[in-house]
Amino acid sequence: MRISVEQLAALVHGTVEGDATAFIDNYSKIEEATPGCLTFLANPKYTHHIYTTQATAVLVRKDFVPEQEVKATLIRVDDPYETLAHLLNFVNSQQPAKQGIEQPCHLGSEVPENAYVGAFAYIGENVTVGNNVKIYPQVYVGDNVTLGDDVILYPGVKIYHGCKIGKRCIIQAGAVIGSDGFGFAPKQDGTYEKISQVGIVILEDDVEIGANTTIDRATMGATVVKKGTKLDNLIQIAHNVEIGENNVFAAQVGVAGSTKIGNHNMVGGQVGFSGHITIGDNNGIGAQSGIPKSIGNNLQIIGTPPVGIKEFYKNYLYIQRLSEMVHDIKDLKKAVDNLSIEQK
């Protein structure tokens, strides 16, 4: 889509500083931009790139003050990152929408006329399919599943029987929703008996599930992901977990069974949560942390077991000096031993 800087600024309610007549026909990262590109500056770590970028225009905060000449045209907005997100969503919405039923596929339930079902998709019996749903090729939707309006299931998604998917949910390729929870009862002979998992998975409205993420069905009741939560790729959510509203989890997070997680938490990659614990609201948890017990609200933590970020990095500095400290202790012990011998 080709648009002038002036038109684009009007679209995002921004103010122009520079050539308003220039045209934008592409988007790029600030360090890789070429003429004709729109880019943005939101992270101060990238500020030095604004003085060398080849972009035609840059979205910046209204209070941005350049320290030297900027060749690109500036578009000043309240939040450059949020503004770019709105723009990209707008551009994406202009793409032709897929509709219709491709063949071969299996339709065990009625599908609205405005839905899209790709080739080799399977839709079971008693499935409720909302308006404008898009089911890409090779998707499996089991019996008695509910799909809300505007749901998108990308290629290879598997949704087991009985699960409920809310409105505007996006499930990326290869994700599995509703597979059996990991439940086995130990027997006296040392073997394990499988415990049937008879619950379901519920995804509330506006949830996004990343590629190859798996969410297990509950043993009884429901595994629940509440509205607005976004899960990255390669995440494992175990049976009977409850995840609150508007959380964001980075890749490879693992949540063990029956853990309850509150609202508005930001969780870094490869964080592991023990089972049967409770996590509060508004926490930031650093990558590769291990959370063995319940935590409260409004914490910024990292590590295993987790500690405050400042304490973690202070301890890290001590760890780097451990070998030096061990030598110092050995030397001190020798000195004390020699002093004791001399006194005798």
Helix (H) or strand (E) holding 150: none
Rounded mean pLDDT, 267-284? 98
- In a 10 Å sphere around its CB, with 0-12 CB exposed, 13-18 middle and 19+ buried, how is residue 160 labelled? buried
pLDDT attached to residue 313: 86
Q: What percent of the chain has pLDDT over 70?
A: 99
Task: Find the angle CA(35)-CA(39)-CA(45) to the nearest 5 degrees.
Answer: 120
Whether the CB-CB separation of 102 and 84 falls below 8 Å is answered with no
The pLDDT of residue 69 is 95
pTM, entire model? 0.87
> What are the Cα distances from residue 179, in Å, to 98, 158, 199, 213?
29, 9, 10, 11
| Tens-digit pLDDT profile for residues 130-139 | 999 999 999 9
Among 13, 239, 264, 276, the one annotated catalytic: 239
pLDDT, tens only, 2-13: 899 999 999 999
pLDDT tens across 23-72, in order? 999 999 999 999 999 999 999 999 999 999 999 999 999 999 999 999 99
pLDDT at 104: 97
Q: Is 152 helix (H, G, I), strand (E, B) or coil?
A: strand
| Residue that is written with structure tokens 């934008």 in the block | 24
| CA distances, 306 to each of 179, 253, 290, 320 (Å) | 31, 15, 7, 19
In one-letter notation, the amino acid at residue 183 is: G
Distance, in Å, from the CA atom of 74 to the CA atom of 57, rounded to the nearest integer, reads: 6
Average pLDDT over residues 292-301: 97
pLDDT at 327: 85
Alpha helices in the chain (DSSP H): 5-12, 80-93, 309-320, 322-343
Which residue pairs from 117-124 have beta carbons closer than 8 angstroms and sit at least 24 positions apart in sequence?
118/155, 124/161
So what's the pLDDT on residue 326? 84
Residue 13 appears among annotated catalytic residues = no
Please write the tens of the pLDDT for every residue from 158-201.
999 999 999 999 999 999 999 999 999 999 999 999 999 999 99
Q: Which residue has the higher pLDDT, 336 or 145?
A: 145
Question: Which residues make Cβ contacts (< 8 Å) with residue 87, sequence separation at least 6?
Answer: 8, 11, 12, 27, 38
β-bridge partners, 290: 272
Instruction: Output the six-digit token pair for 244.
Output: 């609150």
Instruction: Say if residue 344's pLDDT is above 70.
Output: no
